[in-house]
């Protein structure tokens, strides 16, 4: 992937492939968490929600690995319990996919021998499962709208079922594309432009800038990003990438590359 392709990319799949072996676990985990937060309403078990909270704490060194391991085990148990509750008529259960995403967020570096996959593969699994959960839930809504009494007079059940299947396949593909595009925005926010690393001067890390960044990070309210741009500019920052990212229309999450630079996080 070239720099130009990266900057205009709206699909998380090739972007994550480009980041393979280049991105650190903290940022990848925060990306996975941000992806999973989009399906928090689809989580059916408190253990899944707890795993995401613990994973975020671990990403910032605020809890020990033993706590993450316990949360991961709990999330795996929740996934299995949800799987057992899958309706017999449902090929792919949105609740199971959401639980899979939550469990993957809490993956640890201490894998048993039977699970030798690199840690970043679990974070990639999280974003895929989150997208699948959204798509599966949309299909469920479509199927619930299916009514025999709405069939045309000359229609048959088989005809309607084939039509519904076609609509479901199309909806699955479209929804997953939309989710991958949203995830691409998250990647742009968290990783910035890996082809052009920014050199951040310590002189820009003023008490005002740090206080603003810390407040946004803790509250998860990033509406003050334009104010942060002003503070950085007052401190002498003239980097267009930094200032434009702060003042742009895009959203921000924990792990935002500019906020991380101000706070000295990696």
Domain residue spans in the chain? Answer: 3-191, 202-263
- Region 159-170: what's the mean pLDDT? 78
Lowest-pLDDT range of 133-147, 183-197, 223-237 = 133-147
Residue 113: pLDDT band (50, 70, 90) is very low
Query: pLDDT, tens digit, for every residue of 126-152?
Result: 999 999 999 999 998 887 777 655 555
Residue 173: pLDDT band (50, 70, 90) is very high
Q: So what's the pLDDT on residue 159? A: 65
| Percent over 70 (pLDDT), the chain | 89
Residue 172 reports pLDDT greater than 70: yes
Phi, psi of 178 (to 5 degrees): -60, -45
- Region 153-172: what's the mean pLDDT? 74
């Amino acid at each position: 992937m070239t720099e130009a392709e990266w900057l205009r990319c709206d699909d998380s799949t090739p972007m994550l492939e480009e980041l393979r072996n280049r991105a650190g676990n903290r940022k990848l985990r925060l990306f996975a968490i941000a992806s999973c937060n989009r399906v928090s309403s689809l989580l059916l078990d408190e253990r899944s929600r707890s795993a995401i909270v613990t994973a975020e704490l671990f990403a910032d060194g605020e809890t020990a690995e033993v706590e993450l391991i316990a949360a991961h085990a709990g999330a795996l148990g929740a996934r299995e319990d949800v799987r057992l509750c899958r309706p017999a008529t449902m090929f792919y259960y949105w609740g199971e996919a959401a639980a899979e995403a939550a469990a993957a967020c809490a993956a640890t570096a201490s894998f048993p021998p039977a699970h030798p996959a690199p840690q970043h593969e679990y974070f990639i699994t999280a974003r895929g499962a989150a997208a699948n959960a959204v798509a599966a839930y949309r299909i469920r809504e479509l199927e619930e709208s299916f009514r025999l009494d709405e069939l045309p007079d000359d229609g048959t059940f088989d005809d309607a079922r084939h039509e519904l299947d076609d609509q479901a396949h199309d909806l699955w593909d479209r929804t997953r594309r939309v989710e991958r595009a949203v995830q691409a925005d998250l990647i742009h926010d968290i990783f910035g432009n890996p082809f052009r690393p920014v050199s951040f001067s310590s002189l820009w890390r003023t008490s005002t800038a740090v206080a603003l960044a810390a407040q946004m990070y803790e509250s998860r309210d990033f509406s003050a990003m334009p104010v942060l741009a002003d503070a950085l500019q007052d401190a002498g920052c003239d980097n267009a990438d930094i200032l434009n990212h702060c003042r742009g229309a895009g959203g921000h999450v924990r792990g935002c590359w500019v906020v991380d630079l101000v706070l000295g996080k990696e």
